[in-house]
Amino acid sequence: MRAVSEINAAVYTIPTDQPETDGTLTWDHTTMVLVEARAEDETGIGWTYGPAACASVVHDQLAPLVRGMSAFDVPAAFTTMVREIRNAGRPGVAGYAISAVETALWDLKARLLGLPLCGLLGQALPHVPVYGSGGFVNYTIPQLHEQVSQWVHEEGIPRVKIKIGGADDITRVRQARDAMGPLAGLYVDANGAYTAKQAIRIAEVLEGSDVSWFEEPVSSDDLAGLRQVRDATQIDVTAGEYGYDLFYFRRMAEAVDCLQIDVTRCGGILEWQRATAIAAAHNLEVSAHCAPQLHLHAALATPNLRHVEWFHDHVRIESLFFDGFRTPVEGMLEPDLTRPGIGLELRTPDVEKYRIL
Least distance CB 277 / Mg ion (angstroms): 22
Least distance CB 20 / Mg ion (angstroms): 12
Q: How far apart are the first and last CA of the chain?
A: 32
- 108 phi and psi angles, rounded to 5 deg: -60, -50
Least distance CB 163 / Mg ion (angstroms): 8
Least distance CB 191 / Mg ion (angstroms): 6
Distance CA 246, CA 274 (A): 7
Residue 189 or residue 318: which is nearer to Mg ion going by CB? Answer: 189
Residue 117 or residue 275: which is nearer to Mg ion going by CB? Answer: 275
Least distance CB 207 / Mg ion (angstroms): 20
Helix or strand run (H / E) with residue 261 = strand 258-261
Residue span 153-192 as binding mask against Mg ion, x where in contact by CB under 5 A, dash where not:
------------------------------------x---
Least distance CB 251 / Mg ion (angstroms): 18
Distances (CA, A) of 57 to 8, 62, 267: 11, 6, 14
Contact predicate 131/289, CB 8 Å = no
Residue 62 or residue 235: which is nearer to Mg ion going by CB? Answer: 235
Residue 237 CB contacts under 8 Å (≥ 6 apart), including other chains: 214, 215, 217, 226, 229, 230, 255, 256, 257
DSSP 59: I
Of 100, 29, 28, whose CA–CA distance to 59 is shortest?
100
Per CB under 5 A, 318 contacts Mg ion: no
**# chain residues binding Mg ion, by CB under 5 A:** 1
Least distance CB 312 / Mg ion (angstroms): 13
- Return the SS3 of 35: strand
Residue 107 or residue 189: which is nearer to Mg ion going by CB? Answer: 189
C-alpha count within 13 angstroms, C-beta hemisphere, residue 264: 23
Residue 78 or residue 214: which is nearer to Mg ion going by CB? Answer: 214
Pairing of strands 42-48, 26-39: antiparallel
Residue 20 or residue 42: which is nearer to Mg ion going by CB? Answer: 20
Least distance CB 126 / Mg ion (angstroms): 27
Least distance CB 216 / Mg ion (angstroms): 5
Contact predicate 279/251, CB 8 Å = no
Residue 105 or residue 162: which is nearer to Mg ion going by CB? Answer: 162
Residue 209 CB contacts under 8 Å (≥ 6 apart), including other chains: 173, 174, 176, 177, 186
Distance CA 105, CA 345 (A): 15
Residue 271 or residue 309: which is nearer to Mg ion going by CB? Answer: 309
Pairing of strands 211-215, 236-239: parallel
Residue 189 or residue 222: which is nearer to Mg ion going by CB? Answer: 189
Of 48, 65, 54, whose CA–CA distance to 271 is shortest?
48
Contact predicate 160/212, CB 8 Å = no
Point out which residues bind Mg ion (CB under 5 A).
189
